[in-house]
Structure 1
Amino acid sequence: MKRREFLKTTGFSLMGMAALCLGCGASTAAPVTANATASNTEGANATMKTTKKILITYFSWSGNTKAVAEEIHKQIGGELVEIVPETAYPTSYNATVDKGKQEQQANARPAVKTKIPDFAQYDIVFLGYPNWWGSYPMPVATFIESLDWQAKTVAPFFTHGGGGVQRCQSDLAKLLPHTSFAPYLALSGSSAKNASKDVAQWLSKMSL
């Protein structure tokens, strides 16, 4: 795929540099670090209450998906953990675009530092990542395949640059064929850092 076609079809935005696939306008859709330490297990600023154990985990390159994850954590609490690759992606946008493409074409499984030794305790896992070449960044697949997802409910959230969800949800469902999914949230990178209302509306659709 030529770079211009890539920008058009997946929404890569040099202005936003938003998690490698960002864009304009927010949308929601239904139907659905080494040994990373969780932050604020009670969610002191949480605006919603639930008795279920919640994990919010995410992969973020530019910070947009991280911002959404932090907003979810602010509203509902739980534990917040970043998916961190063993080898960091380049700081250069173009170099990261190329590396992401190569990894996806090779169906690679880049090593990740993040470990969740007590994963079995969680009932609901919020899982977020940017749209890279229409799907998930490959470290997300590494992370997913390192854990037992039986009896989990997964609430996916994605950031993009105008390309929308594309295969982000469908490819995730293939990785987790026996997992229950809550409605997903898709946000453009440009709206990711001001998404409190979108997150609140999304959370209200779930039976928490």
Structure 2
Amino acid sequence: MNQNKRIQIFERWSAANPAPTTELIHGSPFELLIAVILSAQATDKSVNKATQPLFARANTASAILALGEDELRTHIRNIGLFNSKAKNIIKTCAILVAEHEGQVPRDRQALESLPGVGRKTANVVLNTAFGELTMAVDTHIFRVSNRTGIAPGKTPLAVERALLRHIPKRFLKNAHHWLILHGRYTCLARKPRCPECLIADLCDYRDKTAAAV
């Protein structure tokens, strides 16, 4: 894909959705961090259902520590891998209190040192909470980047680096959200909705689906 096409793609997404954001409901960097940890192998809808009552009870690192692992587990029991996530969240909250005055650090290395936080989660927090020009590559973004030709790569890290290299800087802050929303609602894994796609004429995907008769 040539750079002119990429620019047109992001111009269209920007015009259609000028202020995209995550679908995880949160009111602070800490709430976002916890929600993203919980979102691994889970839907945003299921995470929001769990975090709304949880954050009403405890929405700081010290408050969740006071809540305790057992009580935390009851709030997130309908989310996949809730046992390991509860353990990681308690450990993460303990580190935040002990080393960061209870605040979420605006630093990749510090974020990735937290239990349950990998590169993707750190990128989401840095981008969404702090406005950093990072790119969190999940399954949706990996698929969209490769299928459309925007930023092909064999691994999430390769796609991340390609996206950062190819996307014009003026679009980088919001690019993560546009890509994930496109993958979630239009460029579906099994049957992409090409007839409804805003960028179908710019996309390099060869096996575009036709409109239903």
Question: What's the TM-score bracket when you normalise by the shorter of the two chains?
Answer: under 0.3
Q: Considering only CA atoms, is the larger Rg found in Structure 1 or Structure 2?
A: 2
TM norm structure 1:
0.27
Structure with greater proportional strand content: 1
TM norm structure 2:
0.27
The structure, 1 or 2, with the larger RCO (C-alpha pairs under 8 Å, 6+ apart) is 1
